[in-house]
Structures are given as C-alpha cells and as structure tokens.
C-alpha cells in the first residue's frame, strides 16, 4: 500500500508544529545519524554472514578400516605356539 503524498505532507506539518523550526535541523541530523549507524551495522552483519558461508569446510578425517589395522599389528603377524 503506497503512502499518499497528502499523508506525508500532513506528517511533516505535525512534526513542524511539535518540534518547531529551530529543532528540525537537529532532529534531521539525529535521524540521519541513526540511519547511517543502522546501515553500517546491517552491512557488517551481512559481510560476516557471507564470509562464514563461504569458508571452506576442513577435510574429513578418514580412519583406516579395522581389517587393515589388525593386519599391521605385531600380534597378528606372530606365530601362535
């Protein structure tokens, strides 16, 4: 639902009446600073998430099969008496 231009104008008039013309530049600066900080935080989070998603996973450690491990022990190679 788009906002009609009349509602934007009415909101600006109400803000002008409440805060007065002297505080409007201060209020605008505060809103601009808040938007800048929000955008900066959003960019940082996006960058961290992208970097974490693109990290290569470490190779899986493979263990030798049990039959090969038993054949290499000295007990398996010694003759039984």
What is the distance between the alpha carbons of residues 41 and 37, in angstroms, rounded to a whole number?
Answer: 6
Residue 29: per-residue pLDDT: 93
What is the distance between the alpha carbons of residues 17 and 37, in angstroms, rounded to a whole number?
Answer: 28
The pLDDT tens digits for 18-71 are: 988 888 889 889 999 999 999 999 999 999 999 888 877 777 778 777 765 555
What are the residues whose beta carbons fall under 8 Å from the beta carbon of 70, sequence distance 6 or more?
A: 76
Asked whether 13 and 5 are in contact (CB, 8 A), the reply is no
Number of H helices, E strands in the chain: 3, 0
Residue 60: per-residue pLDDT: 73
Residue 52: per-residue pLDDT: 86
Report residue 56 as tokens. Answer: 């290569």
């Amino acid at each position: 639902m788009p906002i009609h231009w009349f509602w934007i104008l009415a909101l600006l008039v109400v803000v002008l009446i409440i805060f007065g013309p002297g505080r409007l530049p201060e209020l605008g600066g505060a809103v601009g600073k808040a938007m800048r900080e929000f955008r900066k935080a959003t960019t940082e989070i996006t960058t961290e998430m992208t970097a974490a998603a693109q990290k290569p996973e470490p190779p899986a450690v493979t263990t030798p099969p049990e039959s090969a491990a038993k054949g290499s022990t000295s007990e398996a190679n010694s003759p039984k008496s």
